[in-house]
Amino acid sequence: MPGAHAGRHQSREQARALLRASRDLQVHVADLAGELPFARPPTLAEVQQALPGDDLRCLRVPQPDGSALGLAYIETLIDGRRLWDEVVKPIVSGTLRPEALPRAQPIPNLHVLVHRLLLGSVVLLPPAGPPLALDLKGLQQRAVGEPTTEQEVVGPKEAFVENLQTNVGLIRNRLRDPGLRVQYHTVGRRSRTRVAMLYLSDVARPETVRQARAGLQSIAVDFIRTSMDVAELTFQHSWAVFPLVEQTERPDRVAYGLAQGRLVLVVEGEPFTLLVPVTFFDFQHDGEGALPGPAVTLFVRLLRLSGLFLALSLPALYVALLGADPLFLPVPLIITLAASRFAVPYPVATEAVLMMVVADILAEATAQSASAIGNALSIVGTLIVGQLMVQAHLASTLLMIVVAASLMGAFLTLKFPLSYALRIWKYALVALAAVGGLLGWFTGLLVMLVHLASLESAGVPYLAPLAAARSPSAVARTVAQPGRGQLRFRPAEYRPRQAVAARRGGRR
């Protein structure tokens, strides 16, 4: 029986060692399940058998004592010069022993060994002792550059890149708070994409952190292509056309969001990070950091709200008022409008849908094309399609103005996913307006309102603070941003653990 007891004790120790290794090596514990520690040091042949491939290099480096050190690495992932300078040269010359290599970490089993090779580590197989992993990742990376989709006239000019460590560093550089927690997860059974979860431990809502962690751990897909994959699998309702996470490429916006009590997910290989929770009105407040004072902010917000209304309702109102309920307009205006589409041979709704489809095709083609082609497409769309459609009496001049204003309103917000949602709902409103006139248009708005009211982002109502408001000041803040000195409290809609963010007046 003492032998059985000792065996159980040994297996417990092994399990603990496994857990420790998983924590140290930032590998998901589930990936290690069933993997036992090496009974003896593995050979290069076993490594080759575990990860066959032409880019796997297995070398034997002679040591001064006559023994050979095994080296295994994927040549397309590591920095060859660093391998020569930091490993091979010192070991061959006898100035350094493998066990004394800085940053070398022991590898407990074959599973972790393969994982580290795929992450860009060099695996060292000494004649005695456990294998070691040394991070020498040397993939070429893009330098930190300017934002491409969230440009601001005044403000910081740096944007995230595809490297996870660089992105986390950019955030830490802007938020030097000891409470900032960084937790790594690995998602995707085959892509093994690393995701960093960041939050301020004393500010962020614990339920949001728990929900994000559980969501990341529950992901069970083979491949993670973009950060939206992570967002949809963790937070996004599949059928919601409105974005329930905020994507941003600006470190300053991420740091500000963290300070407000939000949570950030940084996905490896993706220059866009995810911010949760997000509300519908957050998308209207983009790029306000550099605006001088509350008056200008109020002006910009009112412009954006007007743009939102134009994007959603202008085509539908055109169809409702001209096609179904013209009596609501003054008589002179009715005559003018009727004259403008006198020669158009089909109903108002058909005309509107046709023009909207053409305009959306042009907008999408421009957005997805390179800048030179995009400019050419814009010219084609504006001069040729628009002008000729009016001349050919396929659409009225007024409708061209309506569709153009609607499209401009949709792009007034800097976030692409929201503009898609607005453009989709625009078609629904036009369809209802064609059937029910003004009442149909209003019914469509109510359906959209119910849809928005039923959505939640990481447990926070999507319509907050307008709905589910915790204080009247939060509602007022939706439209008018107070001066910087008055921003004492974090947004209540994120339900932060610490509500107060600054002293009164914002000064000592």
Name the residue nearer to another protein (CB basis): 75 or 207: 207
Nearer to another protein, 243 or 444 (CB): 444
Size of the site for another protein (CB under 8 A): 25
- Piece of the chain touching another protein by CB under 8 A; list 109-117, 148-156, 171-179, 459-467: 459-467
Which tokens hold the place of 81?
A: 């010069």
For residue 186, give the H/E element and its range: strand 180-187
C-alpha–C-alpha distance, residues 18 and 105, integer Å? 13
Task: For another protein, give the closer residue by CB, 270 or 493.
Answer: 493
Choose the stretch contacting another protein; rule: CB under 8 A; options: 40-48, 51-59, 400-408, 466-474: 466-474
DSSP string across 276-332: ES--GGGGGGTT-TTS-HHHHHHHHHHHHHHHHHHHHHHHHHHHIIIII-GGGS-HH
Residues 385, 362: contact at Cβ < 8 Å? yes
Binding mask 439-458 for another protein (x = CB under 8 A): xx-xx--xx-xxxxxx-x--
Min. distance of Cβ 308 from another protein in angstroms? Answer: 14
Contact predicate 69/127, CB 8 Å? yes
Helix (H) or strand (E) holding 273: strand 273-276
> Phi/psi at 297 (nearest 5 deg)?
-60, -45
Amino acid at 448: M
Q: What is the DSSP letter of 441?
A: H
For the bound state, the minimum distance from the C-beta of residue 330 to another protein, rounded and expressed in Å, comes to 9
Taking CB under 8 A as the rule, does residue 461 contact another protein? yes
265 binds another protein (CB under 8 A): no
Strand partners, 69: 61
- The Cα 398–Cα 392 span in angstroms is 15
Q: Which of 132, 359, 466, 492 binds another protein (CB under 8 A)?
A: 466
Kindly report the number of other CB atoms within 10 A of residue 54's CB atom. 7
Instruction: Report the distance separating Cα 461 and Cα 172, nearest Å.
Output: 29
Q: Which stretch binds another protein (CB under 8 A): 214-222, 298-306, 423-431, 436-444?
A: 436-444
Q: Which of these ranges, 16-24, 159-167, 324-332, 408-416, lies near another protein under the rule CB under 8 A?
A: 324-332
| Cα separation, 247 vs 228, whole angstroms | 8
Q: How far is the CB of 32 from another protein (least distance, A)?
A: 37
Partners of 126 in the β-ladder: none
**Region near another protein per CB under 8 A, out of 217-225, 335-343, 374-382, 437-445:** 437-445
What character string, x for contact with another protein (CB under 8 A) and - otherwise, covers 6-25? Answer: --------------------
Residue 200 CB, nearest distance to another protein (Å)? 21
Instruction: Tell me the closest approach of the beta carbon of residue 324 to another protein, in angstroms.
Output: 8
CA distance 52 to 303: 59
Amino acid at 276: V
Closer to another protein by Cβ: residue 61 or 447: 447
Of 131, 271, 323, 437, the residue at the interface with another protein (CB under 8 A) is 437
Q: How far is the CB of 440 from another protein (least distance, A)?
A: 7
Taking contact as CB under 8 A, which single stretch among the options 16-24, 55-63, 213-221, 463-471 is the one that binds another protein? 463-471
> Binder to another protein among 438, 487, 499, 501 (CB under 8 A)?
438
Among 58, 240, 467, 502, binds another protein (CB under 8 A): 467
* Closest to another protein by CB, 110 or 452: 452
Q: In the complex with another protein, which residue's Cβ is closer, 387 or 471?
A: 471
Identity of the residue, 299 or 328, whose beta carbon is nearer to another protein in the bound complex = 328
Q: Which stretch binds another protein (CB under 8 A): 84-92, 94-102, 360-368, 433-441?
A: 433-441
Cβ 305 to another protein shortest distance, Å: 12
Q: How far apart are CA 291 and CA 270, in angstroms?
A: 28
- According to the binding rule CB under 8 A, does residue 325 interact with another protein? yes
Name 445's Cβ contacts closer than 8 Å, sequence gap at least 6.
Answer: 312, 313, 429
Burial of 101-128, coded b for 16+ CB within 10 Å and e otherwise, reads beebbbbbbbbbbbbbbebbbbbbbbee
DSSP string covering 199-225: EETTTS-HHHHHHHHHHHHT---S---
Question: Binding string to another protein for residues 471 to 500, with x set by CB under 8 A, is what?
Answer: ------------------------------
Q: Which residues in this chain contact another protein in the complex, by CB under 8 A?
A: 324-325, 328, 436-440, 442-443, 446-447, 449-454, 456, 461, 463, 466-469
